[in-house]
Chains A and B, each alone.
Chain A
Amino acid sequence: MVESQSPGQASETEEAARFQARVDQEIKIEPRDWMPEGYRKTLVRQISQHAHSEIVGMLPEGCWVTRAPSLRRKVQLLAKIQDEAGHGLYLYSAAETLGTPRSEMIDALHSDRAKYSNIFNYPVLSWADIGTIGWLVDGAAIINQIALCRCSYGPYARAMERICREESFHQRQGYEIMMSMAFGTSEQKRMAQSALDRWWGPSLMMFGPSDRDTAQSSQSMAWKIKRVSNDDLRQQFVDMAVPQAEYLGLKIPDPDLKWNEERGHYDFGEIDWAELKRVVSGDGPCNKERMAARIKAHEDGAWVREAAVAYAEKKRQRESAARIAAE
């Protein structure tokens, strides 16, 4: 006979079944709820990677702040970059609820044990690139993040909702830049087309490997961490972007791109998976530059963090001394 469990002490299998039942019923999982170790690990990896992407994503745009063509464009870009910093913080906070301190996640990024979105390893060559990043890169991020708003883990889903709300301006300001370039002088239009030519492929890669080749996807789908497959998200993105490019009078650099009446979607050419693999594994045009800039910023800020702690400690001591003196 199997020994019965004492009340309140459910076995691992019972807990796992109860957990999956809650996920299946669309009940959000909260930080102190029981969860499988794999679920916790997958989330920490995914959310921290997402947070790193927000932070590293500030770097390619940051170098254009002083070169923005007008004050209007400059304040917009600054506001967008500030948002990315905020989004990084929301995400680090969401990941921390799973028990991993932020310093550990940042250490992992700086010592090359954690990834960030591959897209930020490409160079930003002209002002039109800033427009294209807002339009396509933020556009792709929004498609991905709207799906994540329904993620089973409460803190992640809530961070996503807030980020989606804030990020729609990013895409619109990017498209507005593209409009002024595409409808501007022939030189500006050429710059806009060149930016689209360079960013189109990497934008498609933002959704990750094809469903044919992803190992983690099915478990993440069952846990409802991931709600829509990579290829379905990518299709949504293509269907969104094609008419937007047409309006601008720009040509998407894909000879195989055409409307498929039967599917009700655009067909598009095969992605350069070898390039994705190469850039993810560290051999992209800007991987080293991005990480060096990130680490330098962190190290240069060390004295500020130390001074703030020393100041807070001094203030605490003074307050407690004043309290003792008053007694």
Chain B
Amino acid sequence: MTAGNDWPLWEVFIRAREGLSHKHVGSLHACDAEMALQHARDVYTRRREGESIWVVQSTDIIASAPADKESLFDPADAKIYRHPTFYEVPDEVECL
């Protein structure tokens, strides 16, 4: 006896409240997009956790490699002039 092949894997993103962006909450198996939406509704919004659902087939997500983390993100550490606190301006001048 075998469990057979699984349906494709989908990643689920939920907008918790209007005004917020969708956030990844987990994944599930479904044979098509319509079923993925239905399952996401049943599995991830049983307690009114959402206003809107996105489902994306997992194989369609392109992710950066963990090994590239330093080369991708560390350069930003040296660019402190991109933050407002880098600049010295007088306290008495307002709206800066």
Co-assembled chains A and B: yes
Q: Is the CB of A101 within 8 A of B6?
A: yes
In the complex, how many angstroms separate the beta carbon of B38 from the nearest chain A beta carbon?
11
- Cβ of A271 within 8 Å of any chain B Cβ, yes or no, is no
Determine the chain A residues whose CB is within 8 A of the CB of B46 once the complex forms. 79, 82-83, 86, 166
- Cβ of B67 within 8 Å of any chain A Cβ, yes or no, is yes
Nearest neighbor of A79 in chain B, beta-carbon distance: B46
- Cβ of B65 within 8 Å of any chain A Cβ, yes or no, is yes
Determine the chain A residues whose CB is within 8 A of the CB of B3 once the complex forms. 102-104, 106-107, 110, 298
- Cβ of A312 within 8 Å of any chain B Cβ, yes or no, is yes
Q: How far is it, in angstroms, between the C-alpha of A316 and the C-alpha of B68 when the chains are bound?
A: 37
Determine the chain B residues whose CB is within 8 A of the CB of A106 once the complex forms. 3
Residue pairs across A and B with Cβ atoms less than 8 A apart, 29 shown, are: A30-B66, A32-B63, A32-B65, A33-B66, A34-B66, A79-B46, A86-B44, A89-B28, A90-B26, A96-B9, A102-B3, A103-B2, A103-B3, A104-B3, A106-B3, A107-B3, A110-B1, A162-B26, A166-B46, A166-B47, A298-B3, A299-B1, A302-B4, A308-B7, A308-B31, A308-B35, A312-B31, A312-B32, A316-B32
Interface set of B (CB-CB < 8 Å, partner A): 1-7, 9, 26-29, 31-32, 35, 42-44, 46-47, 63, 65-67
Known contacts A32-B63, A305-B7, A312-B35, then 17 further A-B pairs from the complex at CB < 8 Å, ordered by chain A residue? A30-B66, A34-B66, A82-B46, A86-B42, A89-B43, A93-B26, A103-B2, A103-B3, A103-B4, A104-B3, A107-B2, A107-B3, A110-B1, A111-B1, A305-B4, A309-B31, A315-B32
Q: Which 3 A-B pairs have the closest CB atoms?
A: A312-B32, A103-B3, A312-B31
